[in-house]
Structure formats: structure tokens, C-alpha cells
Amino acid sequence: MTGKIGDAVVTRIEESIGPIFDPGFFFPDWREDVLREHGHWLVPTHLAPDSGKLILSIHSWLIRTRQHTILLDTCAGNDKHRPAIPHFHMQTTPYLERLAAAGVAPERVDFVLCTHLHSDHVGWNTRLVDGRWVPTFPNAKYVFSKTERDYWNPTRGLADGTGGAAHAKSRFAGVFEDSVLPVIAAGQEMIVEGEYRLGDELSIEPAPGHTPGHVVVTLRSRDEEGVFTGDVLHHPIQIHHPEWNSVVCVLPEAARRTRRRILEHCAEEASLILPAHFAAPHAARIRRRGNRFEFTLE
């Protein structure tokens, strides 16, 4: 997928796509009657008919403005030790070849933006070279939310004990060490707090819930707007059910508030939403129907 938002060019860079999680596991509020109501559009593009699993895409968004080349979220990466998430464990994908096919070499990326620091959003921050993890994009600044960086840092963590070292034994063990620390060591980290503008057309704003420091990125160009929602939404079923959190949403009530706020904004502004995991066609327009939301995929 390549398209334009105003003067900016947006390209989806795929790492993988396919059935990953059982819906009842991934969405604790999932009900079997969902298929009766929504099966006509869920199957086969967003729910696999054979396994019944959610079909999710793992991709980055490449954003080319007049000023910068930006890579938003860097998927799961190759050679990463992720035994707790088999889909991401020791991958060997042609991600960099796909980036090259879009016309961008790693050296040409000016900024890497991470909506949050889960394993499938930071993996290509680094690559393995001679047994060491080194930044994949040598000339880029890597933009992290301060809240998010501190939350995942094993030497820090939040006062309630849920951050930092608490993750050392979780499914996210090792992610900070192999995909964030090498960036910091190389002096390529760029920390933002609160709302932040990057050039003339991009803005970053807090969107807490899925993780404490999650952000969304908005692109505005020539009266057009695209909102890169990260994991505020994992799957289009959440547009119909914004009250549904994923099993890995850290702050459940905040996640629900953020999701509804973003959906309301996008419906009001006719913004294109570009989530991190929607299957084809990967982006959507939101509209309100009373107190509910509907969408058109595009």
C-alpha cells in the first residue's frame, strides 16, 4: 500500500501477515455471537476460517514528507529471541529488502518513531552484526516517549511495581536490552514528553492505556489528516467494540478512554486511521452512527 496524505507519501512496509491469536485469548470480552453479526466482513480477511484465529498484519509505516523520511514502528525484527511469542521468535524476514523496494535504504531514514516499546514495534530498531545488536538506521534519531522508555527500563520502572524489572520474566523479556539499549548507547535516542511537533506536518501526542507511554502520530498536509494509531486499535472489530481491550493492555480504563477519544476525533475530522496491525486494506475511515462507530476500510 502506497498513498498520499496531502503532499506526504505513506507506504506500508510489511514484515508478516497471517493468523496469530485466538480471539477469545486476545480479546477477553470476545463473544461467539460476534461471528453471527460480523462474520460477513471478518472472514476470511480478518479472521481465518480454518483456525478461527485473528489475522493481524505486522508492518511499519514509511512516511515521506517534504522535510524528512520517517519510519513508524519497526515490527518484530530478525534473530530476536522471543520464545514466549513464537510468531516473533528468531524470524528471518525480508523486511529490509521490502524497505529498499520502496526506495529507502536504512541510511536514508531521518527518524524512527516508536508508538510504544512492545516487541513487535521495536524489533528492527537494531540488527545483529558480528554477534552485536547495532542500530539498523545509522543516521536516524529514534524517538521514544519518556514515560514509555522509563516504564520498560529494567533499572527504572513505575512506583506501582508494574514497570521496569517486573518485565524481566514476562513475554517482553529482553526487548529493552536488544532493541532499545543499543540505540541509547549509540547516542541516537531522542526523548519527547507530552505533545511534540516533528517538522511542519507531524505531531506526537500521548495516548496512554495499551502502555503507559503509548503515543499516536498525526500527519497533517494540505487539509488532509492521517492518524497513526499504533496499538490503540489492534483489529477493526474494536471500532464496533471500543470497550474491548487486548489482553496486553496495561491500563484498561485509560485504554478505553483513549480508543474512544481517537475514534471520535477521526470521525469528526474525517481522518484516515492507519493502525499497526489491520489486515488488508490496512487503513480505515471512521463514521459515527448514534453512540456507535462504523468504518470503511480503504
Arithmetic mean of pLDDT, 73-82: 97
Residue 162 banded pLDDT, cuts 50, 70, 90: low
Instruction: Write out pLDDT tens, residues 12-41.
Output: 999 999 999 999 999 999 998 999 999 999
Domain range for 158 is 2-297
271, three cell numbers: 481522518
pTM over 0.75: yes
Report whether the peptide linkage leading into residue 28 is cis, meaning its omega lies within 30 degrees of zero. no
Q: How many domains does the chain have?
A: 1
CATH number of the CATH domain containing 225: 3.60.15.10
What 102-105 contacts at long range (C-beta under 8 Å, 24+ apart), as own/partner pairs, is: 102/2, 102/11, 102/13, 102/62, 104/62, 104/64, 104/69, 104/71
pLDDT at site 154? 82
Q: What is the pLDDT of residues 165-187, one digit of tens each?
A: 455 446 677 899 999 999 999 99
